[in-house]
A and B are shown apart, each in its own frame.
Chain A
C-alpha cells in the first residue's frame, strides 16, 4: 500500500477558507492543507474585524467607552456593558443600589440567552438543519423584543452606565418576560427534539475535536467550552459579582469536551439563564437604580435643568469625563462565551489610560488548529460553530 501511495505522486491541496466563506462568519480566514478530505495543517488568520477598540477607548471619556463595548461580542452586548461598568466601579469604589444589581443580572442573562440561542441556531443551520435555526431565531427575536423594551435597541444596547443604568425596567416587564419564556421553552423543546436526539446531528458532533480538561485550561479556555471539558469554572460561581450569589442556579458541565458536550452545555445554560431571570424578577427590590454620586452618575434631567449644582456636575462630567482615581483594575464577568475581563488603568484624568479586554473567544480560536488537525474538512463546521468565535470580540 505504501509503495502504491508513493507512486501516485499525490500532493496536498492548500485552500483558503474565508474570509468570505459560509462557515467563516465573523470574518476569519483558515489556511487549510488537505490530504483528500483530511486536514493536515490548519492556520487561523484573525484580524479582519480589527477596529482598534483599545486605542479608541484611550481617546474617549470613561462613559463614552460603553457604545464601543457593545461592538465587542455583538450577540450579547449588555454583558460587555456590565463588565466594563463593574470594572470602572471597582476602580472608583462604587457600590450600586440593590435594584440596579438585579436589573443588571436580568439584562445580562437575557443577553446570554440571545447569544446561546444564536449559537445553537447557527450550528444547526450550518449542519443543514435550517428548521432548527429558524425556531431558535424566533426565540432570540422574542428576547430581543424584551431587550428593546428595556433599552430601545436590539443589538447595540448601550444600556449600562457607570454607577447605574440608563433607565429602569419598563412597566409590565415581568408579565411580558413570562410570556416570552413560555414560548421560548416551547421552541427549546422543539429544537431539542430536532437536534439532541437526532442521530445524524449526534454523529456529526460526538467525539469530534475532543479537548481534555487539562489541555483546555492550558489553552486558556473559559465559558461553555471549558465546562464542556468537565471543568466547573464559571465566574458567576467562582467569584460571584452583582447578586449571583443570592440566586439559585446550576452550571452544567460536560464529560468529554467534544462538540456535542459543548452543544449540550449551551442548551442547558439556556434553561438556567431563564431560571435566573425569573428568580431575579421575583426578588427585584424597589429603590433607585443609580448611585447618588453626581460626580460619577448624572442626576435626573429634572434636577439638571433646575438645580445649579446638578447642572455644574453634569457639565463637568460630560465635557471632561468623570475623574476616576489613579490605579489599575481587572474585573472578569461571565460572558456568554467565557470570561470577559476588563483590565483598566487610570491616570486620574477623564479618559482611560489603558483599556484592555480579555476576549473569551481569542484562546478558543487559537486552539482551533490543535482541535481540528487530523479531522475531516466537514468537522470544521461544528467545531468553529461551537467555539463561537465573534469577530468583534476576537479582533477588537
Chain B
C-alpha cells in the first residue's frame, strides 16, 4: 500500500518535475536559441552571474524574476475572477494531460511491477481530448474577460479555431485506434515494438493530420491567429502582465511537450528504439545483474521517449520559425474543407484495410 503510494508520488513528481522544472523554463531558451541559429544570429546571451552566461541559459531565470516583480495589472471593467482564472485554466490541462502519457513500459524490479505512467486509464485518448478542449476555455475566458477589443477578437478566433480543429484532430486519431484496437495509451505504446509497426508507418496520413491539428490546437505559428501580434496586438493575452502572462507561455510550451508526448506514443514507437528490441537491450545490459539490467533498460526507454519528444519539439519549432501565418478564413477552410474530409477518407480506408485483413 505504502509502496504503491510512494510509486505514484514518485511518478507524479517525475512528470511534474520534468515538465515544470525542465521543459517549461528551458523551452523559452530553446526557442530563442533555435530561432537564432536559423536566422544567423547569436541569440540570448546577456544574462550572467559573476560573468558566467552559460550560453544564455540564465535567461529563463532572469525572465521569471523580471516578470514576477512586474505589476499584475487588471484593466478597468475586466471581470476580475475570470481574468485571474483564465491563465490557470490554460496551464493546468497541459500538465494534467501528461498524466496518461506513458513515458516507459512495464518493468519488474525487485519483484515489484512498475508501470511508467501516472494514470493508466482505459480511455487514455479520450482523456487527452477532454482536457485538450478544456484549454480552449482558458483562451476564450482570457479574451472575453479582459474588456479589450483586441482580446475579444483573439478570444473569438481562438474559440473558432480550437473547436474546428478538435473535430479533425479527433477523427484523425480514429485510424490509429482501429489499427491497434485500443484506447489505452500504454497498450498502443507497447504494441509498437517493431520499427515498421510504428504508427507513422501504419497511419502516415493520420500522423500528418494529427500533427497539423495539434499545432493548430496549440495556437503556434502558422496557426497563431488568436495572438497574431500584427493584426490584433497580442490577441487574447493583450491585457495580461506579470506572472499571468508567463503562465500563458508556460501553458503553450507545456502543451507543446504534451502534444509531442502523445505523438510519440501514438506514432513514433513510444519508448522503443528503432531496430533494437527491449530483449536485445536487456541482454546488452546483462552485466549489471537481473535487477540492474532492468533498471538500465528502464532508463534507456525513458531516455528514448524523451529524446523523441525533444525531436518533435525541435520539429515544431522549425515549422514555427519557417512559415508565415495563415489568415482566419484560410484556417477555417483548411480545417473544415480539407482536414476533415481527408480524415474521414483516412478512417474509411483504414476500416477497409482492417476489415479485409
Contacts and interface: CB of A to CB of B under 8 A. Distances in A.
Interface of A: 13, 15, 21-23, 37, 124-131, 134-135, 138, 194-195, 198, 200-201, 203-204, 376-381
B233 interface: yes
A127 B330 CA distance: 14
Contacts of A21: 233
A131 B325 contact: no
Nearest to B318: A131
B149 A201 contact: no
Nearest to B229: A22
Contact of A130 (B35, B149, B228): B35
Contacts of B285: none
Contacts of B328: 37, 376-378
Given A128-B221, A203-B330, A198 B324 contact: yes
B224 interface: yes
A286 B149 CA distance: 62
A128 B327 contact: no
Given A200-B323, A200-B324, 16 more contacts: A21-B233, A22-B230, A126-B230, A127-B230, A128-B221, A128-B323, A129-B322, A200-B222, A201-B324, A204-B325, A204-B330, A376-B328, A376-B329, A377-B153, A377-B231, A377-B232
Nearest to A375: B327
Contact of B327 (A23, A130, A138, A379): A379
A22 B276 CA distance: 51
B38 interface: yes
9 contacts: A22-B230, A126-B230, A128-B222, A131-B322, A203-B326, A203-B327, A377-B328, A380-B231, A381-B230
B106 interface: no
A194 B329 contact: no
Interface string B319-344: 00111111111100000000000000
Contacts of A22: 229-230, 233
Given A23-B230, A138-B40, A378 B225 contact: yes
Contacts of A37: 153, 157, 328-329
Interface of B: 35, 38-41, 149-150, 153, 157, 221-222, 224-225, 228-233, 321-330
A22 B238 CA distance: 12
A80 to B, nearest CB: 28
A130 B321 contact: yes
A31 to B, nearest CB: 13
A379 B230 CA distance: 11
A201 B324 CA distance: 6
Contacts of A378: 225, 228, 231, 327-328
B96 to A, nearest CB: 30
Nearest to A380: B231
Given A15-B149, A23-B230, A126-B230, A198 B323 contact: yes
Nearest to A37: B328
Contacts of A380: 231
B112 to A, nearest CB: 50
A37 B222 CA distance: 19
A310 B157 CA distance: 71
A130 B325 CA distance: 10
A125 B35 CA distance: 13
A130 B232 contact: no
Contacts of B225: 378
B35 A127 contact: no
Contacts of A376: 327-329
A198 B323 CA distance: 8
B324 A129 contact: yes
Q: Would you list the 5 A-B pairs with minimal beta carbon distance, nearest first?
A: A128-B325, A127-B324, A129-B324, A134-B39, A126-B230
Contacts of B40: 134-135, 138
Contacts of A198: 323-324
Given A134-B40, A378-B225, A200 B230 contact: no
A381 B230 CA distance: 7
B228 A128 contact: yes
B324 A128 contact: yes
A203 B333 CA distance: 12
Given A128-B222, A131-B38, A13 B149 contact: yes
A126 B230 CA distance: 6
Contacts of B38: 131
Given A15-B149, A23-B231, A378-B231, A127 B39 contact: no
Contact of B324 (A13, A15, A124, A377): A124
A204 B231 contact: no
Contacts of B228: 128, 378
A367 to B, nearest CB: 21
Contact of A204 (B150, B153, B327): B327
A381 B326 contact: no
A377 B152 CA distance: 14
B227 to A, nearest CB: 11
Q: Which of A128, A130, A377 has the most CB of B within 10 A?
A: A128
Contacts of A138: 40
A203 B325 CA distance: 10
B325 A200 contact: yes
Contacts of B149: 13, 15
B42 to A, nearest CB: 12
Given A378-B228, A381-B231, A130 B39 contact: yes
A194 B322 contact: yes
B357 to A, nearest CB: 36
Contacts of A203: 326-327, 330
A131 B39 contact: yes
A125 B327 CA distance: 15
Contacts of A13: 149
